[in-house]
Amino acid sequence: MRILFLLLCLANIAVAVGMIWWMPDPMATHFGPDNQADDFMSPAGYVVFFSGLVVFFAGLFLCIPWLMRVLPVSAFNMPNRDFWMNQANRPRTLRRVEVYMDSLGIAMMLLFLLLQWLTFHANRTDPPQLIMPIFWCGLAGFLAAMTVLTVRIFLSFRLPKKSGEEHDGHAQQP
């Protein structure tokens, strides 16, 4: 999953750079509730801004699992933290968080690709307008993915139900 996430980050930057040759100067980059362009920037400014946004989120999603390795357990607020962050369970917990962050990043980079396509298409029309049904479907899909991922991560950090074990990661003494 990490490779797919990184490839989608690179794809977003490549699309932003590739769009520069076909965009008007200035290009529409924001659209109001009436679907009319209400903010513009140069194509080069768009590439810098959008690439910076991709790098920021990639860094954030890659950094969180690393921070969980180096910061004290008390720095994190998560369900059943003492159980999941103890020595016995910490490697499995860190792997779950990595997978979650990669999944979140993949969903966000797919949304970014859709937004870039919509921006490209909008700037090829006169006047620039988004295709709102596609925008709303993409946003709804992203929010649905975030809901599923959030529920899954919270459920994955429930305490296990196993007979004969305490919830500290060690077997009961007879």
pLDDT of residue 164: 52
Give residue-wise pLDDT tens across range 105-141: 999 999 999 999 999 999 999 999 999 999 999 999 9
Give residue-wise pLDDT tens across range 24-44: 999 999 998 888 899 999 999
The one-letter code for the residue type at 90 is R
pLDDT of residue 77: 86
Question: Is residue 163 very low, low, confident or very high in pLDDT (cuts 50, 70, 90)?
Answer: low
Q: Is the pLDDT of residue 171 over 80?
A: no
pLDDT of residue 174: 37
Give residue-wise pLDDT tens across range 40-99: 999 999 999 999 999 999 999 999 989 998 988 888 888 888 899 988 988 999 999 999
pLDDT of residue 73: 86
pLDDT of residue 160: 85
pLDDT of residue 78: 86
CB 122 within 8 A of CB 27: no
The predicted model scores a pTM of 0.85
